[in-house]
Structure 1
Amino acid sequence: MEQITFLNPQFFWLFLLIPFAIAWLFWKRKHQTPTLKISSTKGFKASTSFLVKFKPYLGVLRIVALCSLIIALARPRTVDISNKTKTTKGIDIVMAVDVSGSMLAKDLKPNRMEGLKEVAANFASERPNDRIGLVVYASEAYTKTPVTSDKAVVLEAIKSIKYDQVLQDGTGIGMGLATAVNRLKDSKAKSKVIILLTDGVNNAGFIEPETAADIAKQYGIKVYTIGIGTNGMAEFPYAQAPNGEILFQRMKVEIDEKLMQSIAKKTDGKYFRATSNDKLAEIYNEINKLETTEIEELKFYDYDEKFRGFVLFAGLLLLIEVGLRNTVYRSFI
């Protein structure tokens, strides 16, 4: 059965009057029926006519009609609610990801790159109303996915990130940041954000990171920087065996935190250090909370009023009662 709500449920209190109405009808019926005192009724034949038996129930039609009218006054109705969300102030976000060989280090599980991909995919999925783009960089940088609202494209791009030596190895932080800025500089979004992730120091590219940060500031782009890597030593790739297997050795983790802090401060962003998978997830969750999108939710209510049927039913019962009293039972006093 459909869910029915009542606009005026206070009218149900009128049901308390029903017992009094029944008592009144019973009392009135007794006083409307004439009485005749005789010594014996043997000379009278009892009538078994249906009409005679039905007459006492005319009052029942009136009571049922009254109940139906009370329900109609309570305004039963069903409602179909449809929601529509409208992004009033969207955010354009570009994730600039370091894909140099050092991202294969195993201080995050199974390695830095795979740990990042999982967290970045969750981040993108949790922002359905924003546009997201993806830039990858090593010694050079390129746009893997332009800023788009198609989350399936973004998630597929994140999934396909890998160390494939397409880019010359190295860490060009300035190149990655400048490429990300180029994707956002013409954006009309109310907020423009870059999430810049690296695990090393700037040692490649022809654009200085500070210069790229100045350009980001000029375009009103906020940069959140993330240094990924544990404190101390980690299993780093250092060579590739003839069979293609990558060889690892323990090396000291080195991240230019001062540079990352400077970029973030200059653009009104924030610097984070991700030393584990859980810490990296916490960082993305914090950025998710810092960059909130204003959403306007519109609700549309479609009411289907049900009281008309009860009114018609009550009217029909009253019509039957009045008709019978003035036709079939007219001879009865």
Structure 2
Amino acid sequence: MTILYPTFLWLLIPILVLFFQNLDSFKNRIHIIILFLVILSISRPVIKESPKEIEIEGKNIIIALDVSYSMNARDVKPNRYEFAKSTILSLLKLNPNDNIMLIVFTSNPLILSPATTDHPLIEIALNSLKREFIMTKGTSLENLFKKVVSINIGSQNLILITDGGEEEDINSDILKSSNISLTILAMGSKEGSIIQNRDNRVLKNEEGELVISRINPLLKSLTTSYFTASNSPQDTANKIYKSIDKKAQKSKKMQYSYLELYQIPLFLAMILFFMLHTRWVTYLKNSKLFNLNLNIKLF
């Protein structure tokens, strides 16, 4: 037998003290025994059965989100970053068995959440991200690809969400030699958009010219799984997921089952409580099991 929540058993110490301090009262003794049985029940005694290996259909997915300044552009509503963020939140809801890692990047990548099937945890990490605290500027896909290749979580699907930055040469050979399938969600438009800062001022370069951010055309050459923002984040997430769903691989997981025993002490506690507060109490008083030696003292 195994106790799944042994911490609750510490409550038995004061229960035993109370028991020996109240030997003169029959009802008090029975109430304490009932409490003892309830605590034993909530500590969840079980018999552990043999583990079974089951197959689950899920994917190893790395989501890489560009958080550079150009993601503030509003050619996608409300802006590129907020649309991308909503798309990720929609992706997290599509398959609870997917093992997902979240990386944010500018010139350098940062693992925001390690690979996990606990998708609400990833959602909390994403919602907690404060982009204004990210000091580095620009976008480096090469540094991102090097980081992704160094991560060993088996066969991987990389969902890259970016506008591509201003890189004139993207080294895709880094991914080709690895077991990584690349899917790109290109944020922005061909025409491009101005960028506004937090004060709603238009961003200008050193020459005083307006900075126009466009989708980097080199992105499309990196993969055949290339998407742009649809009418809604949900539609966009569905399109991306359908493209990688056919690549799903079944993984094996050990599942443990238990024979629950908590019902036994709980049932006994209910029976004792019922008998104590009905005419059946006389049977308890006459029972040798509960006719304790009243001369017992606690030392």
**TM-score above 0.5:** yes
1:179 aligns with 2:138: no
Structure 1-normalised TM-score? 0.51
Describe the superposition over 1:264-320 as per-residue Cα deviations: whole angstroms up to 9, x where unpaired. Answer: 15xxxx11222x552x54332122122224679xxxxxxxxxxxxxxxxxxxxxxxx
CA distance in 2, matches of 1:140, 1:167: 10
Deviation at residue 251 of structure 1 after TM alignment? 5.2
Task: Label 1:195 to 1:123 Cα distance change in 2 as closer, same or farther (>3 A).
Answer: same
- Kindly report which structure 2 residues correspond to 1:1-333, keeping only aligned pairs within 5 A, or say none: 87-183=55-151, 186-188=152-154, 191-203=155-167, 209-210=170-171, 213-237=172-196, 245-248=199-202, 252-257=212-217, 259-265=218-224, 270-274=225-229, 277-278=231-232, 281-292=234-245, 293=248
The 8 Å contact of residues 86 and 295 in structure 1, kept in 2 or not, is answered as no
CA distance in 2, matches of 1:229, 1:96: 16
Q: Which has the higher contact order (CA 8 A, sep 6+)?
A: 2
Describe the superposition over 1:40-64 as per-residue Cα deviations: whole angstroms up to 9, x where unpaired. Answer: xxxxxxxxxxxxxxxxxxxxxxxxx
- The 3-state SS of whatever aligns with 2:223 is helix
Residue 187 of structure 1 aligns with an amino acid whose one-letter code is I
Residue 271 of structure 1 aligns with an amino acid whose one-letter code is Y
The 8 Å contact of residues 186 and 219 in structure 2, kept in 1 or not, is answered as yes
Instruction: Compute the RMSD of aligned alpha carbons.
Output: 2.9
Structure 2-normalised TM-score? 0.56
Deviation at residue 236 of structure 1 after TM alignment? 1.1
Task: Report the identity percentage.
Answer: 28
The 8 Å contact of residues 234 and 252 in structure 1, kept in 2 or not, is answered as yes
- The 3-state SS of whatever aligns with 1:247 is coil
Deviation at residue 168 of structure 1 after TM alignment? 0.9
The 8 Å contact of residues 186 and 228 in structure 2, kept in 1 or not, is answered as yes
- The 3-state SS of whatever aligns with 1:126 is coil
Q: Mark the structure with the bigger radius of gyration.
A: 1
Larger helix proportion, structure 1 or 2? 1
Unaligned residue ranges in structure 1 (runs of 5+): 1-84, 297-333
- How many residue pairs match? The answer is 192
Give the aligned partner of residue 278 of structure 2. Answer: none
CA distance in 2, matches of 1:217, 1:233: 30
The 8 Å contact of residues 162 and 185 in structure 2, kept in 1 or not, is answered as yes
Unaligned residue ranges in structure 2 (runs of 5+): 1-52, 204-209, 252-299
Deviation at residue 92 of structure 1 after TM alignment? 0.5
Residue 238 of structure 2 aligns with an amino acid whose one-letter code is N
